[in-house]
Amino acid sequence: MSVAPAVPLGAIRQDIRDQHAYPVVAADGLIKLDLMENPYPLPTELARALGQHLGTLALNRYPPGEPAAFKRRLAAQAGLPPGSGLLLGNGSDELIHLVIQACAGPETTVLSPWPGFSMYRLIAAQDRCRFVSVDLRPDFSLDLPAFLSALQVHRPAVVFLAYPNNPTGNSFDRAAIDAILDAAPGIVVVDEAYLPFARQTWIGELPRRPNLLVLRTLSKLGLAGVRLGYLCGAPELIHEFDKIRPPFNVNSLTLGAVDFLFDHIAVLDQQAAAIRASRAALIARLRQWAANRSDVTVFDSDANFFLLRVGDAPRVFAALRQQGILVKDVSAAHPLLQGCLRITVGTENENALFFQALASGI
């Protein structure tokens, strides 16, 4: 009887084998308030027209290696200063990887405030860089003296600053970021994933800040399914990152869909405005409800989500899920997040159902 050959797991790096794949929770049948998505679909007529447009694309051919016309249109939409470089990515995650990979070496350090976006740490580890975090203050603001000290001690090649920050939802003080840009020995990436809801940007600073990169995604605007991110900065830096970008990394359907929707960007902007209004209304309602409760804290946010501290977060998370509401339990991610759930702002109806479930389950 023959013996099946062993699977050669020893060929895989041990640190990779010790990791877990990024978890994406199944959400069938649930109201999704866990992944900071725009809850509004495209209007029916617009979706139909988009489908007809995509049907005209030559899917038997590779996408353009350098979609120059598309990039010019994106640069105009983004307000990119003249002379700046622009790199497209398969979502912002790929661009985070390209920046770190281009700088990676045995002594390379990546630095970021913490708690922060988990992919900074994960991708740094995958690219065999040392990740150093600097704890935020209890109010989630930057601890600037500690951060400046970390810059001096660790000399990071790359600094990531999410603006607004995920999972805390707040925007760091601009003067503090200016000080970090002045002191950083390498590249500083300001990640503006939640720009449609914060409406504050660093892109205008690119001409006078050669060490600044601005990272954006279209996911939060309502196009999470097309997976398009873009990186803006000095053309000399963008040129180097482009050397390790996989060819055809942005597919024809993505390019075609986004180019078509640029003609209808007002629809997505209106949806973002509705989310901003719903955020304010939901936070106000929760604060009114929690006014006489010592176990509930609702945090301000500049993003399309906010933090809610409820004491026993796992119990409340489970109670919400039993009632068909999926949120994100971040209570174990960092001591500053103890008792916290991250809540994505949904439609008015979804927000009402979330509030009813919370009020009955806590």
The answer to whether the CB of 244 falls within 8 A of the CB of 97 is: no
CATH 3.40.640.10 for the 60-263 domain, yes or no: yes
Residue 9 has pLDDT above 90, yes or no: no
For tokens 């002191």, the residue is 183
User: How far from the centroid of its chain's Cα atoms is residue 200's Cα?
Assistant: 15
User: What is the structure's pLDDT at 324?
Assistant: 95
Q: Rounded to whole angstroms, what are the CA distances from 19 to 161, 333, 344? A: 24, 16, 27
Q: For 331-349, how does the pLDDT look when each residue is reduced to its tens digit (9 = 90+)?
A: 999 999 999 999 999 999 9
Residue 350 has pLDDT above 80, yes or no: yes
Q: For 174-218, how does the pLDDT look when each residue is reduced to its tens digit (9 = 90+)?
A: 999 999 999 999 999 999 999 999 999 999 999 999 999 999 999
List the beta bridge partners of residue 250: none
Q: How confident is the model over 160-168, as a mean pLDDT?
A: 98
Angle between helices 44-54 and 252-261 (to 10 degrees): 140
Count H helices and E strands in the chain, helices first: 13, 13
Q: How far apart are CA 212 and CA 215, in angstroms?
A: 10
For tokens 């503090």, the residue is 176
User: What is the structure's pLDDT at 1?
Assistant: 66
CB atoms near residue 255 (< 10 Å): 21
In CATH terms, the fold of domain 9-44+266-361 is Aspartate Aminotransferase, domain 1 (3.90.1150)
Residue 357 has pLDDT above 70, yes or no: yes
User: What is the structure's pLDDT at 20?
Assistant: 86
Nearest Cα neighbor of 94 from 182, 270, 219 is 219
Q: Rounded to whole angstroms, what are the CA distances from 159 to 120, 136, 308, 317? A: 9, 15, 28, 33
Q: How far apart are CA 124 and CA 166, in angstroms?
A: 17
Residue 93 has pLDDT above 80, yes or no: yes
Q: How confident is the model over 281-295, as a mean pLDDT?
A: 94
With residue 111 as reference, give the H or E element that holds it.
Answer: strand 109-114
Cis peptide upstream of residue 115 (ω within 30 degrees of 0) = yes
Structure tokens at 213: 């990169």
Domain boundaries, the chain: 9-44+266-361, 60-263
User: What is the structure's pLDDT at 94?
Assistant: 98
Nearest Cα neighbor of 124 from 159, 78, 85, 77 is 159
Nearest Cα neighbor of 40 from 355, 350, 354 is 350
Q: For 237-276, how does the pLDDT look when each residue is reduced to its tens digit (9 = 90+)?
A: 999 999 999 999 999 999 999 999 999 999 999 999 999 9
Q: How far apart are CA 249 and CA 225, in angstroms?
A: 15
